[in-house]
Structure 1
Amino acid sequence: MRSLVIAAVTAALAIAAALCIYTGLNIIRVGYDSAKFSESAKELNNPYRGWYCLYGYRLTSGASGAVPDLTSKLELETDRDPQSNRLVLIEINLAAFRDSRIDRQGLAQIDTILSAWERTGKSIILRFLYDWDGLAVQSEPDSIDIIMQHMRDTADIVNRHAGSIYTMQGLFTGNCGEMTGSRYMSSDDIQALARCLASSTLSSIKLAVRTPAQWRTIPQDCSYRFGLFNDGMTGSVYDLGTYSDRTVTSDYTSRWARADELAFQNNLCRYAPNGGEAVIDNIYNDYPGVITDLSTMGISYLNSMHDAAVLNKWKSVTYNTGDISEAGIDKNTVYNGMSVYDYISMHLGYRYLVTGSRLEAVSFPGTLRKMRTLTVSICNMGFAGCYNDFDLNITLYDNNNTAAAVLTPDDFDMKSLTGGSFSDVTFTFDSSQLAEGTYTAVLTCTDRMTGERIDFSNENDRDDGGVTVGYIKRSPTW
């Protein structure tokens, strides 16, 4: 009897061994050590966020005489624009064509302007307008049909430069192109202009209107294209006409009170960019309240030139975590002692921080094989998210610093990581595909369109823009 039991056990072991040999179901031993994570107070030169300078160009019609050569002007301005600025606001004045279509010379000037700025590598905030003097009614075309024709006239050139255009501000109308003081501000006019601009330009180009109330007027079939811009930001309790003194009403297209409009922007600007100018030194741009408001509005970009009084105030005030910790904006002390201006500069748009990682075994039903899932926790410390496509990857480097494997997320979109939010991102892989040894797991984030690496705010970053998240040890099988 005993010999039968021994024989049965021996046979079972032989079968199990055979299964391991022939099916590859070896038992894999994998260890993991997470890296240590801490946030730095360094400035990140990442795209689609930060400060911008403004440059204006007045088109000239060929019918009115010689068309001016823009070359020297463009060379001067593109050379002097701060290299630290990843954004530039370009205003193009179309008043010379208020009574006609834009002629060939005018279109060539637009192409020359956009091409010159495109070569700088900056992302362009683009605004077409007819007025710089607060006299839109006198400068704009007498018919909305001409404005819509100008939208179509410029669309081919705009679309050719779509890869460099971050957003288009306004609907060509209003004093300084800010959609105020114009005869074309009725709900019907806004709807017609918004639909024309959206249908003429590529869907990859983001659009923006001046106020939340105007955004609520836009037809639903194209509203997903539109964000906001605010050149009266923090200028008063009403942001200089952006809000009103009435609470939310059944009139969805009316202006609401500040608190209600801030809450509206907090939701909208999770999916569409917001930026502009902080103006007029007053309590609404005083620290610490301004930090809360910029975060609530999801601000990605600000004018670095205006309003100097506000900017200088921020430069003269010291940031202290204790001043705003109860608001839940930031509890990290690494920013203490810097100026409020520098703190705002670092938090415009997105600012990604890796906060943790772990490795777990995952069993799949119907198989003896075990997979591993590497989970990385990421927090967005910035005021806003990013609205472009970013790709996350983890590269496993062996002891020779050779890339042995590249892992992609199971299912994650970086655009979902909005300002102030955090998420766990999982990477599932078959550890049996790794040779024995120790691997360094490095997380990278890449702009899908340009291939540029996106820097994290971690202290333990690498020269290649990645962050070491941990170390995987693949031991011998048994």
Structure 2
Amino acid sequence: MFFWKNRNKKHLTAILPEESRKECTNPGRGWYHIYTFTLDKRDVEGLLYLPFWDEETLALVRLDIGAFRCKILSKEALEYAEEILKCFHDRGKDIILRVLYDTQGKGMEREPALFSMVLTHMKQLGTVVRAYESDIFITQGLFVGNWGEMHGSKFLDREYIRELYAVWREALGTDIKIALRKPSFCRMAVVKENEKTVPGVFDDAIFGSENHMGTFGQKKKKESTWTDDWCMADELLYMQENCGMIPFGGEVLSGQMAGAKETLCTLQDFRVSYLNSIYEDQVLEQWKQTAYGEWGSLYQYIGEHLGYRFVAKNAEFYSDRIEIMIENTGFSNICDKAELMLVKENADGTEETYTADYDIRMLAGGKTAKMTVPFSGVPDENERFYLKLVRCRGKAVIRFANEGAKERLYLR
């Protein structure tokens, strides 16, 4: 609704609908399913019958290259990898990509004996993956270890990790995000302690134990070396300062079952953007059985607040600008660049677009910010305005979570 706040100063305020309690599907956040493909067993027809979940915008795609541990990837394998990525592109999915040698917890047996072969595979696949840059949400791991999770491998000391990361980064280019299994691996991966282009972290043991099954250490940073595993509090601070533009997520385990309040605090502290939708079932079922007010269940609330969730609170029209208050009720900031636009619909059917001078990636979960759009004049009764938020990568539209909002959130 609109009302005049101060007629003399031509100051108009738009109060917007409250946050919806319904599903608000948006790119680059939420639940995901896992899809595993073995690159030496090409099955193009099988790609036509993959099950997809419309409410999920993410998919974890695992490319198993264990059959090539002693040789370069074949032309057919690379073509199959391209066909797989194209399949998910055609379905509009953001891809969490994990290339691995092992899917049985036998990393030492399945990965190459020669370190140089891993580097060769990275260079080969980098060309394929880079062609789908706009579809890649994040890549996980550096090919090695049990399930590609960087444990149970002979290539995990600092020099190996540094070279693996450097080669994979060069193969992918500068824009595709990379996540490693532990914060200490991130520090090993870069040359300088103050390096700005550090990778992020994925955690497949959230709630698994006090230290997330070895994701974190016990000692404080001041008692440790730079590449040691630090205690959770110090690692959280490190990730906040260095990995804030890389989404954090993974899987939950049932080692430490927590109440609703503690669970939500942990998800907020870690800026969790994405979670496996079927694992671990014991935790997910507990969330589904836990009532949570108007949201129905804790599971529903968590699912709707993974990553970012933008709610426009109000818009104030002045003679030279429009100020828009936006709250992020999600657990995390959005990690992709996005443009917030105010669009004016004129009486003659034309539109005028005004872009906010604000980097919405800076709006952390649980915070509110005022965004200013340069604008001249006060709207008359024949003009309509709406907000539109578009992710720069892939030009995907981001919906506001206000009641009744669709791809456009009308202010009038």
**1:107-126 pair list within 5 angstroms:** 107-126=78-97
Q: Deviations over 1:380-424 (max 9, x none)?
A: 1111122222111111234x4834532222x21122222222211
2:22 paired residue number:
42
Q: Secondary structure at the match of 1:450?
A: helix
Q: Is 1:359 the counterpart of 2:317 in the alignment?
A: yes
Describe the SS at the equivalent of 1:196.
helix
Within 5 Å, give how 1:98-177 maps onto structure 2: 98-177=69-148
Say if 1:213 and 1:254, in contact at 8 Å, map to a contact too. yes
Q: Please say if residues 196 and 242 of structure 2, whose CA atoms lie closer than 8 Å, have aligned partners that are also in contact.
A: no
**Equivalent of residue 443 in structure 1, options 376, 387, 395:** 387
Contact 1:395/1:441, CA 8 A, preserved across alignment: yes
Name the counterpart of 1:387: 335
Q: Is the 8 A contact 1:125 1:165 kept in 2?
A: yes
Deviations 1:230-267 (A, max 9, x none): 11111110101111221223412111222322333344
Work out the CA distance in 2 between the residues paired with 1:107 and 1:144. Answer: 20
CA deviations 1:424-473 (Å, max 9, x no partner) are 111122229x7x65433321111233333211111252x4x222336xxx
List alignment gaps of at least 5 residues for structure 2: 1-7
Q: CA deviation at 1:279?
A: 1.2
Q: Displacement of 1:83 after TM fit?
A: 1.5
Give the distance between the partners of 1:427 and 1:46, measured in 2 at CA: 24
SS in 1 for 2:188: coil
Question: Distance between the aligned counterparts of 1:374 and 1:403, measured in 2?
Answer: 20
Where 1:108 maps in the other structure, the secondary structure is helix
Contact 2:186 2:198 in 1 (8 A): no
Residue number in structure 2 paired with 1:19: none
Q: Give the structure 1 partner of residue 287 of structure 2.
A: 314
Contact 1:136-1:176 at 8 Å conserved across structures: yes
Supply the distance in 2 between the matched residues of 1:174 and 1:203 (Cα, whole angstroms).
24
- The 1:289–1:124 alpha-carbon spacing in structure 2 relative to 1, beyond 3 Å, is same
The one-letter amino acid paired with 1:421 is K
Rate the CA distance shift 1:220–1:345 in 2: closer, same or farther, 3 A.
farther
Residue 3 of structure 2 is matched in structure 1 by none
Counterpart of 2:174 in 1: which secondary structure? Answer: coil
Q: Could you tell me how far apart the structure 2 residues matched to 1:345 and 1:270 are?
A: 21
Q: Deviations over 1:157-199 (max 9, x none)?
A: 1111112111110001111000001111101111110111101
TM-score (normalised: structure 2): 0.91
Identity of aligned residues (%): 28
Cα–Cα, structure 1 residues 85 and 460, in superposed 2: closer, same or farther, change >3 Å? Answer: closer
Q: 1:245 aligns with which of 212, 218, 229?
A: 218
**Any conservation in 2 of the 1:270–1:418 contact (CA below 8 Å)?**
no
Letter in 2 for 1:253: T
Alpha carbons of structure 1 residues 338 and 266: separation in structure 2 relative to 1, 3 Å: farther
Contact residue 354 and residue 378 of structure 1 kept, 8 A: yes
Rounded to whole Å, the distance in 2 between the matches of 1:251 and 1:90 is: 35
Moved more, 142-151 or 111-120: 111-120
Q: 1:415 and 1:58 mapped to 2: Cα distance?
A: 36
Q: Over alpha carbons, which structure has the higher Rg?
A: 1
In structure 2, what residue type is equivalent to 1:352?
F
Query: Are the equivalent residues in 2 in contact too, given 1:460–1:468 (CA < 8 A)?
Result: no
Contact kept, 8 Å, 1:212 with 1:261, in 2: the verdict is yes
2:371 counterpart of 1:425: yes
Q: Which amino acid aligns with 1:307?
A: E
Distance between the aligned counterparts of 2:127 and 2:55, measured in 1? 30
Code of the aligned partner of 1:448:
C
Matched, 1:350 2:312: no
| Aligned partners of 2:13 and 2:314 also within 8 Å | no
**2: CA distance, partners of 1:240 / 1:125:** 22
Q: C-alpha separation between the residues in 1 aligned to 2:244 and 2:42?
A: 42
CA distance in 1, matches of 2:122, 2:196: 17
In 1, the alpha carbon distance for the partners of 2:179 and 2:49 equals 29
Cα distance change on mapping 1:178 and 1:404 into 2, 3 Å: closer
Which residue, out of 55, 61, 68, partners 2:35?
A: 55
2:349 aligned with 1:402: yes
CA separation in 1, counterparts of 2:59 and 2:182?
21
User: Match of 1:72?
Assistant: 45
CA contact (8 A) 1:168 1:207 kept: yes
Rounded to whole Å, the distance in 2 between the matches of 1:382 and 1:429 is 29
* Structure 2 equivalent of residue 367 of structure 1: none
Distance in 2, matches of 1:33 and 1:440, equals 14
| Cα deviation 1:77-128 (Å, max 9, x = unaligned) | 2xx1211111111111111111121121221221122122221111111111
Give the 5 Å matches for 1:182-261: 182-219=153-190, 224=197, 226-249=199-222, 250-261=224-235
Please tell me the root mean square deviation across aligned C-alpha atoms, in Å: 2.2
Structure 1 residues 225 and 215: alpha-carbon distance in aligned structure 2, compared to 1, 3 A threshold = closer
Q: CA deviation at 1:316?
A: 0.5
Please name the residue that 1:378 is paired with: 326
Instruction: Work out which of the residue numbers 277, 282, 293 in structure 1 matches 2:266.
Output: 293
Q: Distance in 2 between matches of 1:56 and 1:460?
A: 37
In structure 1, list runs of 5 or more residues that go unmatched.
Answer: 1-27, 61-67, 321-335, 362-371, 471-478
Amino acid at match of 2:112: P
Amino acid at match of 1:57: F
Residue 41 to residue 287, structure 1, CA distance change in 2 (3 Å): same
Paired residue total = 402
Q: Is residue 467 of structure 1 aligned with residue 371 of structure 2?
A: no
